[in-house]
């Protein structure tokens, strides 16, 4: 049994709590949370933009801690799952690793590449795993795309176009603060930055242009090249002031003999999707049957990958900390390119 402590019982802590319930062999044994109401098991104030609303839960058998040192002294905890605000990930992860715990941290791994480097070093020095909970590769369309690419049926991966745009999240305080949430680059686009690094590796060249808000990029387009000159990637991401379309994401992935296409938007509160298609060079259009699942299913698959990683002692190729660090670096390179171009 892998015994987990969730640090921060907010929206993501709740979603992870629900997902752990579906993973035999993993059990939440402790919670670290500042809010005494939440420590009592009253999670009715938790709200997010997907999944069920928070509930009153029975915490019998679950230790609840107000301070990190108390949590770290708990020998019953093998893994700390950090679901705290991004600015806390770096310091808390390092303290947990130094205390001999494995760590899973929500995205973004941290707000700055240098902090990620220190986190990677702490994991190595303590011989503990540091995994970053990038859930996107486990969402059905993205998991299917990974599978089709890995199968090799349609030849080499040539590139793609990745889209992720939201309306202004006015309810999120500190969203555009580079030292709190990091704006849409680190809160939103980091999902695609991670996927791009997973599929293509670290880009050679990063060309980005866009609009900024204060010290962070607000809306941008990027063009990425890689060591393989055949591969190019385009990115569109950020915030547009358009409350009628709160969210849109999608991709077009180019293989030698097929294009994978998927797009989904939330328009006027309703989901409108163009389901995943494999548009082949010679065999028409294939519409793969997608697994039926709820909002928790992707997180369940992600945590099963955490379980496999920790049980095998072989850090996950998808959730491993070096890849997540490269995603933060890619975000930072795009931000720097946008600000540099504006200064010219």
Which residues lie near ligand NAD (CB under 6 A)? 8-13, 32-35, 38, 83-86, 88, 106-107, 135, 187
3-state secondary structure of 64: strand
In whole angstroms, give the CA distance from residue 105 to residue 50.
20
Nearer to ligand NAD, 191 or 254 (CB): 191
Cis peptide before 108 (omega within 30 of 0): yes
Nearer to ligand NAD, 187 or 326 (CB): 187
Cβ at position 7, least distance to ligand NAD in Å: 6
Nearer to ligand NAD, 78 or 302 (CB): 302
By CB neighbour count within 10 A (0-12 exposed, 13-18 middle, 19+ buried), where does 265 fall? middle
In whole angstroms, give the CA distance from residue 15 to residue 9.
9
Nearer to ligand NAD, 85 or 152 (CB): 85
The token duo for 257 is 């003999």
Cβ at position 195, least distance to ligand NAD in Å: 13
Nearer to ligand NAD, 8 or 315 (CB): 8
Cβ at position 131, least distance to ligand NAD in Å: 13
In whole angstroms, give the CA distance from residue 314 to residue 148.
24
Nearer to ligand NAD, 81 or 329 (CB): 81
β-strands 26-32, 102-106 pairing:
unpaired
Nearer to ligand NAD, 26 or 135 (CB): 135
Cβ at position 42, least distance to ligand NAD in Å: 12
Nearer to ligand NAD, 83 or 131 (CB): 83
Contact (Cβ atoms closer than 8 angstroms) between residue 328 and residue 202: no
Cβ at position 53, least distance to ligand NAD in Å: 12
Cβ at position 168, least distance to ligand NAD in Å: 17
Contact (Cβ atoms closer than 8 angstroms) between residue 168 and residue 239: yes
Report, in this order, helix, strand and coil percent for the chain, each rounded to 5.
35, 30, 35
Cβ at position 8, least distance to ligand NAD in Å: 3
Cβ at position 46, least distance to ligand NAD in Å: 7
In whole angstroms, give the CA distance from residue 278 to residue 132.
29
Task: Kindly report each contact of residues 94-100 with a partner whose C-beta sits within 8 Å and lies 24 or more positions away, as own/partner.
Answer: 94/118, 94/119, 94/122, 95/68, 96/7, 96/72, 97/122, 97/123, 97/125, 97/126, 97/128, 97/130, 98/122, 98/126, 99/72, 100/126, 100/128
């Amino acid at each position: 049994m892998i015994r987990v402590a969730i640090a921060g019982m907010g929206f993501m802590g709740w979603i992870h709590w629900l997902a752990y319930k579906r993973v035999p062999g993993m059990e939440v044994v402790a919670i670290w949370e500042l809010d005494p109401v939440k420590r009592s098991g009253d999670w009715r104030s938790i709200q997010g933009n997907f999944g069920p609303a928070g509930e009153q839960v029975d915490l019998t058998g679950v230790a609840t801690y107000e301070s990190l040192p108390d949590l770290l002294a708990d020998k019953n905890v093998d893994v700390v799952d950090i679901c705290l605000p991004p600015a806390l990930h770096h310091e808390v992860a390092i303290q947990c690793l130094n205390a001999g715990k494995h760590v899973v941290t929500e995205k973004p791994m941290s707000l700055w590449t240098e902090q990620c480097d220190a986190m990677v070093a702490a994991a190595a020095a303590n011989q503990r795993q540091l995994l970053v909970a990038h859930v996107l590769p486990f969402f059905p369309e993205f998991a299917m795309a990974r599978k089709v690419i890995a199968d090799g049926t349609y030849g080499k991966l040539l590139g793609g176009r990745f889209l992720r745009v939201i309306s202004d999240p006015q309810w999120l305080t500190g969203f555009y603060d580079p030292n709190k949430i990091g704006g849409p680059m680190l809160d939103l686009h980091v999902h695609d930055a991670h996927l791009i690094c997973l599929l293509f590796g670290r880009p050679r060249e990063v060309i980005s242009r866009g609009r900024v808000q204060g010290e962070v990029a607000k809306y941008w387009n990027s063009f990425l090249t890689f060591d393989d000159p055949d591969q190019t990637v385009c990115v569109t991401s950020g915030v547009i002031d358009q409350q009628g379309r709160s969210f849109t994401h999608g991709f077009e992935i180019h293989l030698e003999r097929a294009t994978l296409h998927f797009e989904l938007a939330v328009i006027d509160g309703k989901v409108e999707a163009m389901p995943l298609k494999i548009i082949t060079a010679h065999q028409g259009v294939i519409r793969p049957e997608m697994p039926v699942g709820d909002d928790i299913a992707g997180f369940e698959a992600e945590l099963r990958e955490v379980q496999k990683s920790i049980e095998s002692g072989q850090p996950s190729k998808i959730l491993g900390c070096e890849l997540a660090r490269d995603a933060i670096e890619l975000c930072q390179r795009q931000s720097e390119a946008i600000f540099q171009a504006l200064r010219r």
